[in-house]
């Protein structure tokens, strides 16, 4: 049974339609004209327990609005939504107890309190036992190095430090569903890798994750499924492998020969491949469903003695970049 269910989920905002300047503001007091902006447009979404879903799209696509609808911060204009059987905007307290939320640009720490005191307040709010609280802090210290941050006042934390503390705050009460907005922003590479490994462990233990992120490494390392939204509508919903197979089929093999190889010879051995370079160094672009890497290497070895080579696999980053640039219509 899905833990997140949204059907026809829609959110429309009213925007004042007025001329600029003081005169426009005064006129608006009497005319009161508005235009409707649909931020989320009839979204249908189901997420199973233990799934890690990347919810991505260009700025203004409706990602954050969707998450706010799922968390109960916003009330839908139409449609239905349930999270673990609870309607978020109607049963806010019950919903808050079973979700964790991290917004990369906002903190849930108390600004003038040490991190330790903020976490202790959250412990009391969520009725976390002392034993479980100590166990969680030890776990967070191992993964995030949270111990050194506990005595620091929140306002004095750097971005990376605050993200580590906020991640601990979001996960302190062992929520069933976690919404993460840019969860690794500001983190160094070593901590980022540990956080991603921790998120994978959470999913293996049954926690449901929804990531909205521009860090495509988070998507490929943590998520099995990607949902792409644009102009308030879902334009793609499928597995990472599926989106690669459909829209990121090109591989590139970079090869160095020990002697000069005619480019025409490579073109003859690899019909349909894109060949760049000359003399001894070439880049071979090929559709992985037309040629296998083994077939390409066999052809290259037939052309000459290979000194070195490197194979670049297609990345989800290529698809997302093309969607953002408007070069790829996944709804077509």
**196 and 260 belong to one structural domain:** no
The answer to the question of residue 227 being in a domain is yes
Q: Specify the CATH number for the domain of residue 269.
A: 3.30.70.260
Domain boundary among 219, 245, 271: 245
Q: Specify the CATH number for the domain of residue 108.
A: 3.40.50.300
The answer to the question of residue 319 being in a domain is no
Range of the domain at 307: 249-313
Domain boundary among 245, 274, 294: 245
Q: What distance, in Å, lies between the first and last C-alpha atoms of the chain?
A: 30
SS3 assignment, position 271: coil
**177 and 261 belong to one structural domain:** no
Angle (nearest 5°) at CA 222 between 97 and 163: 60
pLDDT at position 247, please? 75
pLDDT at position 43, please? 94
CA-to-CA distance for 6 and 234, rounded, in angstroms? 12
pLDDT at position 163, please? 87
Domain boundary among 196, 216, 245: 245
The answer to the question of residue 321 being in a domain is no
Q: How many residues does the chain have?
A: 332
CA-to-CA distance for 330 and 172, rounded, in angstroms? 38
**Tokens (6 digits) for 148:** 């050194």
> 0.85 exceeded by the pTM?
no
pLDDT at position 242, please? 81
CA atoms within 13 A on the CB side of 7: 5
pLDDT at position 213, please? 80
pLDDT tens column, 16-29: 677 677 766 776 67
pLDDT at position 138, please? 94
**Tokens (6 digits) for 143:** 């993964």
**284 and 152 belong to one structural domain:** no
pLDDT at position 288, please? 81
Number of domains in the chain: 2
The answer to the question of residue 326 being in a domain is no
In the DSSP assignment, the letter for residue 289 is T
Q: Which helix (H) or strand (E) holds 99?
A: strand 99-103
The answer to the question of residue 157 being in a domain is yes
pLDDT at position 293, please? 87
CA-to-CA distance for 252 and 229, rounded, in angstroms? 29
Instruction: Tell me the average confidence (pLDDT) per consecutive run of 10 residues in the chain, 332 residues long.
Output: 93 78 68 81 94 88 91 94 94 93 84 94 94 94 91 91 91 94 81 86 92 82 89 88 78 91 90 88 88 88 92 75 67 58
Residue with token string 């969680």: 136
**59 and 172 belong to one structural domain:** yes
**122 and 219 belong to one structural domain:** yes
The answer to the question of residue 307 being in a domain is yes
CA-to-CA distance for 165 and 148, rounded, in angstroms? 10
pLDDT at position 28, please? 60
SS3 assignment, position 40: strand
**267 and 192 belong to one structural domain:** no
Q: What are phi and psi of 143, to 5 degrees?
A: -90, -45
**164 and 303 belong to one structural domain:** no
**75 and 102 belong to one structural domain:** yes
Mean of pLDDT over the chain: 87
**184 and 270 belong to one structural domain:** no
**Tokens (6 digits) for 173:** 């009460």
Residue with token string 């907005």: 181
């Amino acid at each position: 049974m899905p833990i997140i269910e949204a059907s026809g989920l829609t959110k429309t905002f009213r925007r004042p339609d007025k001329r600029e300047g003081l005169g426009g503001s005064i006129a608006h007091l009497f005319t009161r004209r508005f235009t409707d902006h649909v931020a989320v447009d009839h979204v249908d979404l189901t997420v199973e327990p233990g799934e890690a879903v990347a919810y991505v799209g260009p700025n203004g696509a409706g990602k954050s609005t969707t998450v706010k609808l799922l968390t109960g911060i916003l009330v839908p204009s139409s449609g239905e939504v349930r999270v673990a059987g609870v309607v978020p905007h109607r049963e806010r307290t019950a919903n808050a107890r079973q979700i964790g939320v991290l917004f990369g640009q906002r903190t849930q720490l108390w600004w003038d309190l040490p991190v330790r005191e903020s976490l202790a307040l959250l412990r009391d709010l969520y009725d976390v036992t002392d034993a479980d609280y100590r166990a969680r802090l030890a776990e967070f210290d191992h993964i995030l190095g949270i111990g050194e941050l506990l005595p620091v006042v929140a306002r004095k934390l750097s971005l990376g430090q605050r993200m580590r503390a906020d991640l601990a705050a979001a996960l302190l009460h062992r929520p069933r569903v976690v919404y993460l907005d840019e969860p690794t922003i500001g983190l160094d590479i070593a901590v980022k890798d540990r956080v991603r490994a921790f998120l994978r462990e959470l999913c293996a233990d049954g926690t449901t994750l929804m990531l909205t992120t521009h860090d495509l490494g988070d998507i490929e390392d943590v998520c099995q499924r990607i949902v792409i939204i644009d102009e308030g509508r879902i334009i793609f919903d499928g597995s990472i492998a599926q989106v690669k197979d459909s829209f990121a089929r090109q591989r590139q093999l970079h090869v160095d020969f020990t002697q000069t190889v005619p480019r025409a010879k490579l073109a003859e051995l690899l019909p349909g491949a894109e060949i760049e370079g000359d003399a001894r160094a070439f880049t071979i672009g090929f559709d992985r469903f037309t040629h296998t890497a083994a077939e390409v290497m066999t052809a290259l070895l037939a052309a000459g003695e290979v000194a070195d080579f490197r194979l670049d696999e297609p990345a989800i980053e290529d698809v997302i970049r093309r969607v953002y640039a408007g070069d790829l219509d996944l709804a077509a």
